[in-house]
């Protein structure tokens, strides 16, 4: 007879992690991250010097840009190698990578969560075109972040006369996951969690390689009545750590928000969005969304599209989705990004990326740090000794039918005003965003042209479109001077022709 799940303290659980293990950690920003376990693992290493030389595997960024999440694991000696999708939320790990103190890889988030399923099934890896011709392509560095990182984990292969990327599978030997409730046999339910994430894939991968699965839960009950509510079966779980709610906030911004686990058409209150360049951009982007569209909004400037849609009564016309799994509802921002208020459904993250990779998105709206003459986009290297990482960006921009990059025309200090439907730039940004060549190619413009994608670049003063010969100016803001405000503030010359005019309603104060 199978024994009951073993309930232990966090300290006892992490003491079972051996040196040299490959540890997969679940979570998205703070949602679903087992904070009690990652903090306990840090304490054990600082107190005992063990475990050592871990390989850390994670899909979505997990952290608060300060101390929580994967920042706990940023100690030389504790971690030897990191394979991750997004780094900006764990700057302590990023500093180790940029200093060459650890081996470090940045791969697309969607590839990594699907790779966990391939690892669980002991298949040879993920075969995809996601990442081709970007910095993740082995011809451009293979996603390796420093000279210390030498092993190739992605390769080009030829299948049926076409080029593909193969992301290699490797054993996962420890899984750290989080759920809400466990029963006496270790079956896990997620009723207070905003996301399902990749918890099942992590548990299957570690179990099938003879490893260890540790689950952080809020509570243990005698029996779970509905077997369909169980998202990770107890047969996969080795240790349960009961948090009682401690270090188990729903997100790193909110202890608990019932809207994230309450389905159906609940009312979502948006404060009026202040007028700024971001509101101009959001208004213009909203015009690209057609009734019935399935849409993904990225973090940052694209978040404003949902707010403007709410102001104009358009939210019900289309379906917003997030790569973390929510479908419908209204995406949250900040350290609750990845959650959605009143979603219609929440699927696991690998399934969401299957949908995205297959072309399920009608439109994706993402930010951009830099854009160049070919239409290439950089989102990973903001400067200042930081590396952001691509997250789900590469998957989403590789497969959405239409892509809109939404960003201010210049960075660092830009301020604008408007009157009578006309733009006025009151303070120019100090830093160019439209540059001759991006620092790192995360979106490859020529590949998008070859795929037949429709691509726009929307700013507060101009809209560009991607063509076979590079960027073309499509629209100019009323009140903006083409030479002084646009061409003179770019570091390359786009194709101009006869641009149209951005709609005056975008500039209503």
Can 323 be counted among the known catalytic residues?
yes
**Minimal CA–CA distance to 144: which of 111, 115, 110, 106?**
106
Q: Provide the residue count of the chain.
A: 509
Determine what percent of the chain falls in helix, strand and coil, rounding each to the nearest 5.
25, 25, 45
Q: Do 65 and 88 contact (CB within 8 A), yes or no?
A: yes
Q: What are 467's two structure tokens?
A: 């063509």
CA distances from 291 to 55, 222, 288, 316 (A): 45, 47, 10, 9
Distance of alpha carbon 83 from alpha carbon 144, whole angstroms: 9
CA angle 464, 362, 318 (to 5 degrees): 105
As a whole number of Å, the CA-based R_g of the chain is 23
Question: What is the secondary structure of 5-27 as a DSSP string?
Answer: PEE--HHHHHHTPPTT-EEEE--
Sheet with 6-7: strands ordered across:
6-7, 239-242, 212-217, 174-178, 22-25, 54-57, 79-84, 103-106
Distance of alpha carbon 467 from alpha carbon 333, whole angstroms: 32
**Minimal CA–CA distance to 188: which of 200, 179, 197?**
179
Active-site residue identified among 42, 303, 323, 475: 323
Sheet with 500-501: strands ordered across:
345-346, 326-327, 319-321, 294-297, 363-366, 402-406, 454-458, 462-467, 470-476, 500-501
**Minimal CA–CA distance to 385: which of 92, 58, 67, 29?**
92
Q: Write the CB contacts of 368 (distance below 8 Å, at least 6 apart in sequence).
A: 377, 378, 379, 405, 406, 407, 433, 457
Distance of alpha carbon 30 from alpha carbon 338, whole angstroms: 9
Q: Are strands 370-371 and 377-378 parallel, antiparallel or unpaired?
A: antiparallel
Q: Write the CB contacts of 141 (distance below 8 Å, at least 6 apart in sequence).
A: 135
Q: What are 207's two structure tokens?
A: 């179990």
**Terminal CA-to-CA distance of the chain, rounded, Å?**
70
Residues catalogued as catalytic: 323
């Amino acid at each position: 007879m199978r024994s009951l799940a073993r309930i232990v303290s966090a300290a006892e659980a992490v003491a079972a992690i051996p040196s040299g293990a490959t540890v997969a950690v679940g979570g998205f920003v703070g949602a679903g991250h087992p904070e009690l376990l990652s903090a306990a693992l840090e304490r054990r290493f600082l107190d005992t010097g063990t475990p050592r030389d871990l390989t850390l595997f994670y899909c979505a960024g997990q952290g608060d840009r300060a101390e929580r999440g994967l920042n706990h694991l940023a100690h030389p000696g504790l971690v030897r190698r990191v394979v991750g999708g997004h780094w900006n939320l764990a700057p302590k790990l990023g500093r180790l990578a940029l200093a060459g103190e650890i081996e470090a890889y940045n791969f697309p988030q969607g590839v990594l969560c699907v790779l966990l399923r391939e690892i669980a099934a002991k298949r040879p890896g993920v075969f995809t075109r996601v990442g081709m011709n970007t910095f993740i392509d082995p011809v451009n560095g293979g996603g390796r972040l420093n000279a210390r990182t030498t092993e190739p984990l992605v390769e080009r292969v030829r299948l049926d006369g076409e080029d593909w990327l193969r992301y290699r599978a490797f054993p996962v030997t420890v899984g750290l996951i989080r759920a809400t409730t466990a029963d006496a046999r270790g079956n896990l339910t997620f009723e207070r969690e905003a996301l399902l994430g990749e918890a099942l894939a992590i548990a299957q991968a570690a179990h099938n390689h003879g490893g260890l699965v540790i689950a952080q839960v809020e509570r243990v009950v005698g029996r779970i009545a509905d077997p369909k509510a169980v998202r990770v079966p107890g047969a996969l779980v080795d240790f349960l750590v009961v948090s009682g709610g401690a270090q188990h906030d729903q997100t790193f911004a909110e202890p608990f928000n019932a809207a994230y686990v309450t389905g159906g058409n609940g009312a979502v209150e948006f404060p009026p969005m202040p007028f700024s360049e971001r509101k101009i951009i959001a208004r213009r982007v909203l015009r690209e969304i057609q009734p019935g569209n399935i849409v993904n909004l990225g973090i940052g400037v694209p978040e404003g599209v949902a707010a403007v849609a709410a102001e104009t009564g358009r939210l019900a016309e289309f379906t917003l989705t997030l790569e973390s799994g929510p479908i419908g509802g209204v995406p949250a921002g900040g350290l609750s990004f990845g959650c959605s208020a009143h979603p219609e459904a929440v699927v696991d993250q690998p399934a969401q990326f299957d949908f995205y990779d297959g072309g399920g998105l009608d439109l994706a709206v993402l930010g951009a740090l830099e854009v160049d003459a070919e239409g290439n986009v950089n989102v990973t290297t903001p400067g200042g000794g930081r590396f952001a990482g691509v997250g789900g960006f590469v998957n989403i921009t590789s497969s959405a039918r239409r892509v809109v990059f939404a960003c201010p025309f210049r960075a660092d200090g830009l301020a604008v005003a408007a009157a009578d439907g006309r733009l006025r730039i009151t303070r120019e940004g100090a830093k160019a965003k439209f540059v001759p060549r991006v620092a790192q190619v995360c979106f490859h413009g020529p590949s998008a042209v070859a795929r037949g994608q429709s691509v726009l670049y929307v700013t507060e003063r101009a809209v560009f479109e991607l063509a076979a010969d590079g960027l073309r100016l499509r629209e100019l803001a009323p009140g903006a001077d083409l030479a002084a405000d646009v061409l003179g503030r770019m570091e390359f010359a786009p194709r101009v022709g006869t641009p149209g005019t951005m709609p005056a309603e975008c500039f209503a104060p």
